[in-house]
Structure 1
Amino acid sequence: MKNIHDVRKLLMKFGTLIYTKDRLGDLELMMMEINELYEWKLIDVQQFQQAVLLLKKEIREYKKGTGINE
């Protein structure tokens, strides 16, 4: 996985489509879904780690770009 599009493709393999018109909300929902897939052992540890790193990076960049401080 190299980008958020790859994370979306992974989620789509399991029938999960996330789009709410709220970028931060989408990223947070994607993180929750990735966590559940890993807990259910549907994805391996490497896929989980790559997805989490990409999502955290994207969330950080989004917050920096919009001035959200959480």
Structure 2
Amino acid sequence: MNTLYDVQQLLKRFGIYVYVGKRIWDIEVMALELDHLNESNVITQKEFIQAKLVLKHEHKIEENKTENNNI
């Protein structure tokens, strides 16, 4: 699992589709949904960790874009 698309496909396996309207918000909601899947023990620990790392990376990219646009 390397991309945001991969995380979306993982969530899609469980009927979870996320679209809030702003990419950074989508990433945050996906992280919450992953937490719920992990608490329910329906995904492996490896899938959970990989997906969270991808989301953390993508979130940081979006934060940097926002900061650069505000300068």
Q: TM-score, normalised by structure 2?
A: 0.92
Q: Compare relative contact order (CA 8 Å, sep 6+) and give the higher one, 1 or 2.
A: 2
Across the aligned residues of Structure 1 and Structure 2, the Cα RMSD in angstroms comes to: 1.1
Instruction: Please state if 1:3 is matched with 2:3.
Output: yes
Q: TM-score, normalised by structure 1?
A: 0.93
Identity %: 35
For structure 2, the residue ranges without an aligned partner over 5 or more in a row are none
Task: Quote how far apart the aligned CAs of 1:51 are.
Answer: 0.3
Structure with higher Rg: it is 2
Task: Quote how far apart the aligned CAs of 1:21 are.
Answer: 1.4
Which aligned segments of 4 or more residues in structure 1 are displaced greater than 3 angstroms? none
For structure 1, the residue ranges without an aligned partner over 5 or more in a row are none
